[in-house]
């Protein structure tokens, strides 16, 4: 029998002090399963296991799938848990597709809310894209050896989970091999799930007094008016989730590259360089957690290099168009995933590509023109400027112009403190004349 006395952080004081109220942790998986989600779920399961009087942990699930590496991390945490992990596909209308089906099978108790679905767990690389329009449908391409390995490994994995939890292993194989799907009612009839529950609270009530398998032993669950402790991701999990969004990581990469380019072209206070460096390092951290295709990064760098070359060399647009093409292709290839939620948005790619072309070709060219004009016009601006004679002289002497001391020469006699006009520049000597009044 389970007795809970643990006062969790986030539990109201009056609840935490009431020793008769049980506390069940509740975490949520919503959206694509990526590195941030995997880290969040595994950390919460480990935390619940180390808090000795937590009777169970509920995972509410609504996902289209995700990365295999993150799925494996979550399932390893579930399988090694010493407390029951209860999975509920929730709320109504939610789904446990692809990786979500594997998670549901791994949990000690699998449940679904009404009007929810699960299945379609075929590895996306096996599903491939659609065939070209002119390809005959009577002769489909046979899967490669690598695709067969991935498929068979996924089938064996989900069958092992089904056998461990005593659920329908044959349908689990169909979900992987043929992308089969089921509604909540059909899943209950086929022994894919244990029960149907409208909410986490109803799930706990339905499991009160039930016996489940925990490794080699059986455990009878006992819940007496439990308090559901919802544990959302902390700031670190939210930050990782934000930067590992492919679109955010892509924007950080572009900002970082252009920040460094701008600092290189127009050195100043270092703001562009500092911001660019920070964004680039954060983007690198995010991409090492995502399925990145390094050919895509190479094409992006090549595209930016060609666009920069177009701003420096008159190539009649050849380098510019080549740079845009390489940039777009690299952006498309950058994230190696078939899951829409883990790919970079195509409209974002087009916007960044055209903005990059305009930025490099026009803005950087303007920066170069300003730099050149500043260098050329620095000394020439002295012609016609007023200067002050430093000491009386006739022929050669010294004057001060804009706070600088210059050698000067003139055909007249000049007295100390007299205001004169710079007439010409001859090497490092300024030719001066008397100032014309009026």
- Give the three-state DSSP class for 268: coil
Q: How far apart (Å, rounded) are the C-alpha atoms in residues 212 and 109?
A: 8
State residue 169's pLDDT score.
94
| Six token digits for residue 274 | 């500092």
Which stretches of 232-273 are assigned E, i.e. beta strand?
Answer: none
Q: What is the pLDDT along the chain (438 residues), one digit of tens a residue?
A: 233 333 333 444 333 344 446 789 999 999 889 888 999 999 999 999 987 677 899 999 999 988 888 999 999 999 999 999 999 999 999 999 999 999 999 999 999 999 999 998 887 643 333 333 344 344 445 667 878 888 999 999 999 999 999 999 999 999 999 999 999 999 999 999 999 999 999 999 899 888 888 877 888 888 877 788 999 998 888 898 899 888 999 999 888 888 887 777 666 667 888 898 999 999 988 888 888 888 888 888 888 888 777 767 756 567 777 888 888 888 888 887 767 677 888 888 888 888 877 776 676 666 666 656 554 445 667 788 889 999 888 888 999 988 888 899 988 888 888 899 888 888 888 889 888 765
Tell me the catalytic residues. 98, 149
Calculate ∠ Cα 26-99-210, nearest 5°.
45
Q: Residue written as tokens 């955010």?
A: 248
The domain 13-126+145-234 having CATH identifier 2.70.240.10: the answer here is no
What does the domain layout of the chain look like in residue ranges? 13-126+145-234, 244-380, 386-434
Check if the beta carbon of residue 203 is closer than 8 Å to that of residue 88: yes
The domain 386-434 having CATH identifier 3.30.470.10: the answer here is no
Q: Matching CATH topology for 13-126+145-234 and 386-434?
A: no
State residue 438's pLDDT score.
54
Q: How far is CA 238 from CA 37, 150, 241, 287, in A?
A: 9, 31, 5, 16
| Six token digits for residue 191 | 């022994």
Helix (H) or strand (E) holding 426: strand 419-426
């Amino acid at each position: 029998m389970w007795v809970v006395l643990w006062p969790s952080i986030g539990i109201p004081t009056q609840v935490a002090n009431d020793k008769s109220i049980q506390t069940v942790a509740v975490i949520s998986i919503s959206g694509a399963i990526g590195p941030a989600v995997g880290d969040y779920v595994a950390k919460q399961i480990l935390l619940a296991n180390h808090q000795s009087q937590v009777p169970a942990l509920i995972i509410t699930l609504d996902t289209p799938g995700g990365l295999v590496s993150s799925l494996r991390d979550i399932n390893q945490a579930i399988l090694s848990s010493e407390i029951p992990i209860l999975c509920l596909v929730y709320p109504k209308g939610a789904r446990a597709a692809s990786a979500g089906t594997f998670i549901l099978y791994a949990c000690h108790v699998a449940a679904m809310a009404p009007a929810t679905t699960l299945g379609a767990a075929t590895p996306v690389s096996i599903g491939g894209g659609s065939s070209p329009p002119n390809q005959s449908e009577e002769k489909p391409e046979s899967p490669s050896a690598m695709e067969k390995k991935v498929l068979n490994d996924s089938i064996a994995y989900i069958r092992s989970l089904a056998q461990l939890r005593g659920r329908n292993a044959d349908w689990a194989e169909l979900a992987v091999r043929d992308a089969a799907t089921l509604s909540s009612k059909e899943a209950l009839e086929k022994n894919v799930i244990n029960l149907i529950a409208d909410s986490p609270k109803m799930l706990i009530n339905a499991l009160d007094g039930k016996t489940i398998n925990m490794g080699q032993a059986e455990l009878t669950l006992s819940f007496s008016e439990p308090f559901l402790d919802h544990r959302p991701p902390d700031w670190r999990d939210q930050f990782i989730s934000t930067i590992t969004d492919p679109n955010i990581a892509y924007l950080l990469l572009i900002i970082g590259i252009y920040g460094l380019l701008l600092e290189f072209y127009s050195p100043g206070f270092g703001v562009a360089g500092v911001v660019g460096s920070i964004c680039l390092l954060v983007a690198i951290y995010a991409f090492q957690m995502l399925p990145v295709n390094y050919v895509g990064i190479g094409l992006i760098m090549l595209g930016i290099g060609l666009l920069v070359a177009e701003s420096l060399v008159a190539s009649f647009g050849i380098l510019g168009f080549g740079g845009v093409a390489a940039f777009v292709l690299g952006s498309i290839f950058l994230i190696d995933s078939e899951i829409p939620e883990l790919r970079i948005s195509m409209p974002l790619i087009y916007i960044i590509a055209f903005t990059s072309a305009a930025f490099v070709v026009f803005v950087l060219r303007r920066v170069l023109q300003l730099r050149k004009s500043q260098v050329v016009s620095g000394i020439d601006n002295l012609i016609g400027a007023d200067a002050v004679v430093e000491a009386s002289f006739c022929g050669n002497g010294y004057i001060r112009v804009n706070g600088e001391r210059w050698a000067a020469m003139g055909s007249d006699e000049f007295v100390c403190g007299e205001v004169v006009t710079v007439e010409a520049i001859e090497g490092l000597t300024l030719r001066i004349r008397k100032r014309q009044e009026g």
